[in-house]
Amino acid sequence: MDPTTIAAATAAIKPTLDIISGVIAIAEQSKDVTIKEKMLPLRENIITLRECISSLREENLSLHEEIKSLKKKLENSSKLKFKNNVLYDGDDPNPYCPVCNSTIDKLVRLTNTSHKFYQCGKCKNTFSTNMSFISGEDDSYGDRVAYRGH
Ligand SMILES: [Zn+2]
């Protein structure tokens, strides 16, 4: 919900409560018990509505933050490219761990251990960017991934 809509609802509560309080005061002055008894639950309902709006405002803020976070995450993930068994982040030439990216949702840079072999410092898996290495290797991470799990 647009925060201005919630602000408008909140702004409408105060004058409504003032009107009800005014009617209750008039009812008390004129000793009109019937009007006063009808207005008291109305005031309680408006107060309950104010509390509901407050809760909705907090939930709305939280949801907006979550949407913002998810958009950023989506934007970042769309930059990732899977190539030769590892992930690349946009134009960054350094390879990143595809296992950590899929399991713990983190971008962990791989360390070059030998020619075309990389290791993840987090999950300790090793990856070969040499495509001929694929045959006979553990392919549990999709059909295209060659890595030695630990
Ligand atoms: Zn890893």
Asked if residue 63 lies in contact with residue 41, where contact means CB atoms within 8 angstroms, the answer is no
Q: How far is the CA of 108 from the centre of ligand 1 (A)?
A: 6
44, 64, 57: which is closest to 9 by C-alpha?
57
Determine the Cα–Cα distance for residues 111 and 95; give it in Å rounded to an integer.
8
Q: How far is the CA of 106 from the centre of ligand 1 (A)?
A: 8
Assign 60 to helix, strand or coil: helix
Q: Digits of tens for pLDDT over the chain (150 positions)?
A: 777 888 888 889 999 999 999 999 999 999 999 999 999 999 999 999 999 999 999 999 999 999 999 998 888 778 899 999 999 998 899 999 999 999 998 999 999 999 889 999 999 999 998 765 443 344 444 434 455 565
DSSP 36: H
50, 37, 64: which is closest to 6 by C-alpha?
50
Q: How far is the CA of 75 from the centre of ligand 1 (A)?
A: 21
Each domain of the chain, given as residue ranges in start order, spans 3-77, 80-148
- Whether this prediction's pTM lies above 0.95 is answered by no
DSSP 136: T
Determine the Cα–Cα distance for residues 116 and 132; give it in Å rounded to an integer.
11
Q: What is the pLDDT of residue 141?
A: 46
Q: Which residues surround ligand 1, an ion (CB under 5 A)?
A: 97, 99-100, 108, 120, 122-123
